[in-house]
Amino acid sequence: MGGQAAMCSAKKKWLSNDIFFLLKDGAIYLWDYRNHIQFQISVSEFERLVTFSTGDFVSDTADDVSIDSSGVLCEVKPTDDWGWDVLSKIFHIGTSHPNPPTPDKPEMYIEYAKSYLDFCKSIHKNEPNIFLIKGGKKTLLPPPNLSAIKEASLWETLLARHTCRDFFDTPISISSLATILYGTLADKKETDYDAPIGAQKFGFRRTSPSAGGLQATEGYVWVQNVEDLDPGIYHYICEQHTLERVRDLPPEVLSTYLCGQHWANNLAFAIFFTSRFDKLWWKYPHSRAYRPMLLDVGHLSQTANLLITALGLHPWLTGYFHDKEINELLEVNLPSEQVIFLVGAGHGTGSSYTREVRELLDGS
């Protein structure tokens, strides 16, 4: 397993439960995900680790010395008080910072700035495509109705925003869809940012912040009931404020893909947010970047929710859906792009409860 041989005591020890095993290319790897350390282990060490999972005394055999020195044995039997299954635990702990904070050193600030610039330079040559264009037939959207957004008070909009689960089967204007897509996803060209001379500029800016400035989120629109726009699935080209057609709507209603959430079927449109992992893999190769990937989508979702509300429409949102089938519908570039979330909108009563829930409540 490697590591310095430590003095073995005849103490009983237990295998940490913050580990997992990986079989790859004919080798066994022990992954200590709390400490971010991986060891290649032998079959005999693996068998010994199985024994330690129920507790055993550490002997002075080579395997025991090696296992003990790796730090994966505990003096007390580990407990497991994690409320979900082990996958989320591996992810959450495995992407937590393994080291304690280091003291602040002002004399190092210039060095940190240098290494930041060197890092940017080093990755610059391999940068992924900034703008996704899939090649479908294009429809230029009308300009956004910015006066409606400018007139809306931020506070009133925040107060008014709520999740609706009761929509009318009525159309919305293409101008509203254009405004929501523009305000959420468009390249904010008019407020371009400074890139100091010598710094590498990557990508573009939107109204929402984005980890690493990557703007890795894409928007695909399920258009169902929008005036002057054929129903279908479209991809929004954020640099051009243009929709490109991906395909016709499938014969199934939208809720088929949303685990039966049938109140979505009367939405005028729904934006599927996908994430382009290739952008994150390029800049942040550690799985910790999965966290900001989700958070990025959350920021865009809230922006869309507020714009929808400011335009007098009702929003609905979900992350509960059939990922595989939606990825196929959207024709994303698997595995480096995947669907993450949905925000839809339409006219409706504004009720948080479905008609059926209200009926049951009224009858009770």
What residues between 163 and 202 interact with ligand FMN by CB under 6 A? 163, 165
Which region among 118-126, 196-204, 248-256, 313-321 touches ligand FMN (by CB under 6 A)?
Answer: 313-321
Residue 105, C-beta contacts closer than 8 angstroms, at least 6 positions apart: none
Residue 60, C-beta contacts closer than 8 angstroms, at least 6 positions apart: 8
Nearer to ligand FMN, 261 or 303 (CB): 261
Q: Please, are residues 139 and 177 in contact by the beta-carbon 8 Å criterion?
A: no
Q: Is 112 in the site for ligand FMN (CB under 6 A)?
A: no
Q: Are strands 27-32 and 56-57 parallel, antiparallel or unpaired?
A: unpaired
Q: Is 355 in the site for ligand FMN (CB under 6 A)?
A: no
Q: Is 124 in the site for ligand FMN (CB under 6 A)?
A: no
Q: Which of 157, 319, 325, 331 binds ligand FMN (CB under 6 A)?
A: 319
Nearer to ligand FMN, 94 or 344 (CB): 344
R_g over Cα of the chain: 26
Find, among 266, 290, 268, the residue nearest to 279 by Cα: 290
Q: Please, are residues 222 and 233 in contact by the beta-carbon 8 Å criterion?
A: yes
What residues between 28 and 47 interact with ligand FMN by CB under 6 A? none
Least distance (Å) between residue 273 CB and ligand FMN: 11
* Cβ atoms within 10 Å of 29's Cβ, excluding its own: 14
Which x/- pattern, by CB under 6 A, does the window 127-166 give for ligand FMN? -----------------------------------xx-x-
Q: Is 281 in the site for ligand FMN (CB under 6 A)?
A: no
Q: Which of 117, 212, 352, 357 binds ligand FMN (CB under 6 A)?
A: 352
From CA 32, how far away is CA 2, in angstroms rounded?
13
From CA 359, how far away is CA 355, in angstroms rounded?
6
Q: Which of 177, 233, 317, 339 binds ligand FMN (CB under 6 A)?
A: 317
Binding site for ligand FMN (CB under 6 A): 162-163, 165, 261, 317-320, 352
